């Protein structure tokens, strides 16, 4: 996926028009259109504005990762059983699992999430 496809997708996911986003970011609508069509690459200050506006990290916009969340949220630390663990710690632990182990873990995670959702509906 190209830079333009990513920012267009983020905009469309929020049901926003190009001129709305351009106004918020204080750029020309035509510039945003050119960025989304991959005609021009935006300057770094616009890339930062886009990342902040959409709440994603710059590496996601540039195609270096599929992880959308900002790195400051990714490195948020939680206390679990007296130990401090960050999301990146968890990711690193998951990255060494086999595909079957990872599928089992993700299945367990989704089951726990479903239990949580069902509990909240009651």
Quote the pLDDT of residue 74.
64
Q: Give me the mean pLDDT over the 42-56 stretch.
A: 96
Give the whole-angstrom CA distance, residue 87 versus residue 23.
Answer: 34
Q: How many C-beta neighbours within 10 Å does residue 74 have?
A: 16
Question: Averaged over 33-49, what is the pLDDT?
Answer: 97
Determine the average pLDDT of the residues in 95-103. Answer: 93
**Least confident stretch, 12-26, 28-42, 70-84, 100-114:** 70-84
The pLDDT assigned to 39 comes to: 98
* Residue 77 β-bridge partners: 86
The answer to whether residue 78 scores a pLDDT higher than 80 is no
Taking residues 51-70, report their average pLDDT: 90
The DSSP letter of residue 69 is: B
DSSP 40: S
- Is residue 46 predicted with pLDDT exceeding 70? yes
């Amino acid at each position: 996926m190209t830079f333009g496809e990513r920012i267009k997708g983020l905009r469309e996911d929020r049901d926003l028009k190009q001129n709305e986003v351009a106004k918020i970011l204080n750029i020309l609508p035509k510039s945003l259109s050119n960025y989304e069509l991959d005609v021009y690459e935006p300057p770094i200050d616009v890339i930062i504005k886009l990342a902040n506006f959409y709440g994603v990290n710059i590496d996601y916009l540039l195609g270096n990762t599929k992880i959308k969340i900002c790195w400051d949220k990714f490195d948020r630390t939680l206390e679990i059983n007296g130990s401090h663990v960050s999301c990146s710690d968890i990711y690193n632990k998951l990255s060494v699992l086999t595909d079957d182990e990872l599928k089992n873990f993700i299945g367990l995670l989704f089951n726990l999430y479903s239990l949580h959702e069902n509990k909240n509906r009651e």
